[in-house]
Amino acid sequence: MKSSASKIQLAGFDDLFQTSSEAEANGEQVREVPLTELFPFKDHPFQVRDDEAMQKTVASIARSGVLSPGIVRPRKEGGYEIIAGHRRKRGSELAGKTTMPVLIRTMDDDEATIIMVDSNLQREKILPSEKAFAYKMKLEALKHQGKRRDLTSEPAVPKLTAREKIAQDAGENCGLTVTRYIALTRLIPPLLALVDEDKLAVSTAADYISDLAKQEQTDLVSVMDKLNVIPGRGQLAKIKQHSKDDTLTATVIEGLLSAEHPTAVQVVLKQARLHQYFPPSYTSQQMEEVIVSLLEAWSVQQK
């Protein structure tokens, strides 16, 4: 079936998230569907947390109902697959509701994936692991659609690669950032958790750990636990080189992580100074990613 995702994307987020009255005015039917007939998107990469934000959602739904209908598509097995609205469904459950308003649309897997990813990326707090698997899913969907490298239709607009298109849609600084996030999907769970906990930078984990074999990553975690250390970029660079040389063992890793290092030169940037250049919503990790990317570009220019 020929994809029509481009038409959906052109509609924009305002069209995707309408109130029930707005949707009906546009000729789309809003239906109240039992929560028992709504099923999560397959391999949904975003967590639905019962956090403070969810409490606010529950209070809003209890007071006024679900104002913005979810988007679903029919399932072959019966019921509907949620494209956008996982948090609204959970909020409805916690608010004691039995149904939720939804827009029922027929779309293929790639169209559904793109809408699912783009809608969830509008949330304020997203873990690196969530971005990682979401970007990977969207990249695969774009490839399945047979998208060319020129993902912009206007002749005067510079052509974008798929990764640059994803970066642009998500508000990332460049396609390299998307590549790094996708690399995180190759990490074993304990290492990915360290990235989510901001103990390992995205760039560090992507550049130096993601290419290690699963057993090498497992050995690395074991040594880290044993020594109670988080390796630095320099140590991980040596570990990666040993992996390339096929000489990496748990003993080698322990030796590298146990070695004494000269006192490192530390550069401290005051938070107030940094926030002159970044949006207020940027986390320390996001700021670090941008700074590292700029330093890498500067390093290349110096050579």
pLDDT (tens digit, 9 = 90+) per residue, 148-158?
444 444 445 45
Q: Return the biggest CA–CA distance within the chain.
A: 69
Q: Is the pLDDT of residue 147 over 50?
A: no
- Categorize the per-residue pLDDT at 10 as very low, low, confident or very high, splitting at 50, 70 and 90: very low
The residue count of the chain comes to 303
The helix/strand/coil state of 72 is strand
- Categorize the per-residue pLDDT at 71 as very low, low, confident or very high, splitting at 50, 70 and 90: very high
Q: How far apart are CA 78 and CA 253, in angstroms?
A: 51
Q: What is the pLDDT of residue 11?
A: 37
Q: Residues 29-38: what's their mean pLDDT?
A: 94
Q: What is the pLDDT of residue 267?
A: 65
pLDDT (tens digit, 9 = 90+) per residue, 84-98?
999 999 999 999 999
Q: How far apart are CA 125 and CA 291, in angstroms?
A: 21
DSSP designation for 159: P
- Categorize the per-residue pLDDT at 139 as very low, low, confident or very high, splitting at 50, 70 and 90: very high
Q: Is the pLDDT of residue 108 over 60?
A: yes
H helix intervals, 98-213: 109-120, 128-144, 162-170, 175-183, 189-196, 202-204
Q: Residue-wise over 44-59: b if at least 16 C-beta within 10 A, else e?
A: bbbeeeeeeeeeebbe
Q: How far apart are CA 135 and CA 167, in angstroms?
A: 9
Q: How far apart are CA 79 and CA 67, in angstroms?
A: 22
DSSP designation for 85: -
Q: pLDDT over 70 for what percent of the chain? A: 82
User: What is the pTM assigned to this prediction?
Assistant: 0.72
Q: Residues 254-278: what's their mean pLDDT?
A: 70
Nearest of 178, 159, 158, 157 to residue 167 by alpha carbon: 178
| pLDDT, mean over the chain | 84
Handedness of CA 219, 221, 227, 230 (dihedral sign): positive
The helix/strand/coil state of 289 is helix
Other beta carbons within 10 Å of 127: 18
Q: Is the pLDDT of residue 3 over 50?
A: no
Q: What is the pLDDT of residue 16?
A: 46
Q: What is the pLDDT of residue 14?
A: 41
Q: How far apart are CA 211 and CA 220, in angstroms?
A: 13
Choice among 50-59, 78-87, 151-160, 279-288 with the minimum mean pLDDT: 151-160
